[in-house]
Structure 1
């Protein structure tokens, strides 16, 4: 018996339908090129305008009809006109458009005598510099001598040649000024108020005082020109206290060398302590 071995025929693979490849649309370069050309053209135009503006500025600034001819400086007490012009760093012939007003004002403000400054330009030829100078009211010893202005601010250390003919305020230290600037300023303002009261005195006045001493815990003590006698005032009410002293000062004056102190820090009496 024969073994029959039947070999199955392989089935023919089914034919697959091939998809047609997608056709790519051609890129339309025209709008892109147009945009690029406009951008490049715009940038070139801006560059040309900037370059032209710079060149025009340089040309105009060099023209004689926009050059500085007149420098006006307000009336001064402490400083001279030549000092101000030198600090401003300008001179006739400078280009008006090239003058930097803010920089001039900042440079002038560095001078301690200058409190306020205004710099203006008036075409075609004028520069105006208006200043407000500080006025010293007293000298304060805070480790070194400083001028005190009308606002109670220390504004300038005294140098050789500076005038000393001002009331002397003592008692504040450099550390006090640094650690408590507001409190120190208020103390100096109170000292100036005391100076005003002394100036108004007819019998006992500023000329009778050699030193105004401030103590943070107590207040103010004056030292007399004659004999260096302490006159205790404390805080506030200076006019009334000094007026009471004025009532007896003529009688006390011949005895000043024998006095230890005068205490005015009361509302209804004066204590005179003999040495």
Structure 2
């Protein structure tokens, strides 16, 4: 009797499973049909939203021809199929671009691009050649010097790599030179020294960073304890203004005392 009951239970389970299978296939078929209809509807709607133009809003001049060729942004393209994030990523590969936002204007058949450009903060000069590059406030290379930019602080270096315009933020030149200059300026600002009081930073000697004040004083900072040394620079600048002292250079690389040379 027990064996008969077990057999009956097995038969009932198989019947239930057979009844479930058609229902599962119907669900899968329905989902697949919905997806196909969605894609077709998306393509159908896209025919009514064709690309007519691209509008770029930015401060300077940027050539969009390369972007149009790489992304296939040609008149008549389906606007719903255009990858806006990919456009932004492609534009941000340009060293001059800091941030990009891209929008679809379906009513006018237009792709709108708003590009925020990097602002020059430093102008780096190669010793002996006069070759220059502009750098932003984070030590990122912008490229060749922009015309008409005023108030930049000059940084003198022994050499600029030829490929620097295409280097990433992890290159040795960016990390060891450009970011060091930015660090000095940021720390100087924290100590109350304005950018107007600084005319140049000399980084030709890796063991000694030299800051030139706008009044012509040469401050040797070395490489460590910048915060403490720049605090002394601020104090010395105030004293020279009050007392009318004519100082040629100040060496702050020694722990206890500053070596000061007066102008003769």
Following the alignment from structure 1 to structure 2, what is the Cα–Cα distance between the partners of residues 120 and 37? Answer: 46
> 1:153 — aligned with what?
139
Following the alignment from structure 2 to structure 1, what is the Cα–Cα distance between the partners of residues 63 and 2? Answer: 94
Q: Is the 8 A contact 1:84 1:108 kept in 2?
A: no
Indicate which of 3, 12, 18 corresponds to 1:33.
18
Matches within 5 A, 1:25-174: 25=8, 27-28=11-12, 30-62=15-47, 64=48, 66-77=49-60, 79-80=61-62, 82=64, 86=68, 89=71, 90-124=73-107, 125-141=109-125, 145-149=132-136, 151-158=137-144, 167-170=153-156
Q: Is the 8 A contact 1:220 1:233 kept in 2?
A: yes
Q: Deviations over 1:103-122 (max 9, x none)?
A: 11111111100111111223
Q: Deviations over 1:43-94 (max 9, x none)?
A: 11211121222222222212x3x222343321322x3364586488323322
Following the alignment from structure 1 to structure 2, what is the Cα–Cα distance between the partners of residues 169 and 121? Answer: 42
Following the alignment from structure 2 to structure 1, what is the Cα–Cα distance between the partners of residues 183 and 122? Answer: 14
> 1:236 — aligned with what?
230
Following the alignment from structure 2 to structure 1, what is the Cα–Cα distance between the partners of residues 211 and 179? Answer: 21
Q: TM-score, normalised to structure 2's length?
A: 0.62
Unaligned stretches of 5+ residues in structure 1? 1-18, 200-205, 253-260
SS at match of 1:103: helix
> 1:197 — aligned with what?
196
SS at match of 1:72: strand
- Pairwise CA distance, 1:102: 1.0
SS at match of 2:196: helix
Q: Is the 8 A contact 1:120 1:128 kept in 2?
A: yes
Structure 1 residues 76 and 176: CA distance shift in structure 2, 3 A:
closer
Following the alignment from structure 1 to structure 2, what is the Cα–Cα distance between the partners of residues 110 and 154? Answer: 12
Higher alpha-carbon Rg: 1
> 2:184 — aligned with what?
187
Unaligned stretches of 5+ residues in structure 2? 160-170, 222-228, 253-258
- Pairwise CA distance, 1:137: 2.8
- Pairwise CA distance, 1:40: 1.4
Q: Which moved more, 1:180-189 or 1:36-45?
A: 180-189
Following the alignment from structure 2 to structure 1, what is the Cα–Cα distance between the partners of residues 80 and 147? Answer: 41
Following the alignment from structure 1 to structure 2, what is the Cα–Cα distance between the partners of residues 20 and 54? Answer: 56
Q: TM-score, normalised to structure 1's length?
A: 0.60
- Pairwise CA distance, 1:163: 5.8
1:212 aligns with 2:201: yes
Q: Is the 8 A contact 1:153 1:188 kept in 2?
A: no
Q: Which moved more, 1:122-131 or 1:50-59?
A: 122-131
